[in-house]
Amino acid sequence: MMKIVIDTNIVISAALSHLGNPAKIINLVRNNEDIQLYYNMVIWAEYKKVLSYVRLNLPKEEQEKALESIQETGIIINPVTSKIPLPDESDRIFYDTAKACNAYLITGNIKHYPTEPFILTPAQFVALFAEN
């Protein structure tokens, strides 16, 4: 079982385009029992807020579809807050959640996080999944 935490940029990219690695990851979450998604209510609130941004012009049903698939397949956890320095404090919850459940953190903003083997780009994760 592969455990994952997905950064908001992955959810948004998948909602905006059904092509590409972010969409592949969301489809894997929805349709593959070998992947377990983790999140918490802070992450959930960020997903919900960003999906509703007017500038993204996402139809309400597309927003709801994205949120439902996360809610239906994900497991909510409450991680302990780390002290590791991060360039953007709002990214800490994703890092801490992945660390707490020993999961991969998948992000399009890899530079926002320290270089650690559990932090992957969407392309890296899709390749790793294909290997397993």
In tens, the pLDDT along 33-85 reads 899 999 999 999 999 999 999 998 988 988 898 898 899 899 999 999 999 99
Q: Per the structure block, which two tokens stand in for 92?
A: 């800490």
Question: What average pLDDT score do residues 121-128 get?
Answer: 97
Instruction: Look at residue 62 in the predicted model and tell me its pLDDT.
Output: 85
What's the mean per-residue pLDDT of the chain? Answer: 93
Please tell me the distance from the alpha carbon of residue 113 to that of residue 87, in angstroms, as a whole number. Answer: 8
Half-sphere exposure in the Cβ direction for 126 (13 Å, CA) = 14
Q: Please, what are the domains in the chain? A: 2-131 (3.40.50.1010)
Instruction: Look at residue 106 in the predicted model and tell me its pLDDT.
Output: 98
- In 3D space, the residue among 132, 77, 97 whose CA is nearest the CA of residue 7 turns out to be 97
Question: What average pLDDT score do residues 26-38 get?
Answer: 91
Element (H, E) at 27: helix 21-31
pTM score over 0.85: yes
